[in-house]
Amino acid sequence: MLYGTRLGRGDRQQSPRERFFANQAPTWFSNRFTGLSLTDMGTGHEAFHSELINEVNLCDDRLGFEPELTTRMAKLGWRFAELPVSDTP
């Protein structure tokens, strides 16, 4: 599972303060309960093998999608990695 992180290249200065803290709280809770060490769970940039997604029965299709995806894949023992991405045009 590959996640993009908006915090990997010092992009904190580019993100409004409120959005930074709003993203960090869910990431902190996710890391706490999954044992992962992601920096930006709500990135919106995820990549994975499409045939493996069939192992995960996802229910949410809105804001809960990323926490649910992350939690279920962590429970299945998937490996996670992050690469820096930018969300500025």
50-74: per-residue pLDDT in tens?
Answer: 877 777 888 877 778 888 889 989 9
3-class DSSP state of 4: strand
pLDDT at position 89: 63
pLDDT at position 36: 95
- Distance CA(37)–CA(39), nearest Å, equals 7
How sure is the predictor about 8, in pLDDT bands with cuts at 50, 70 and 90? low
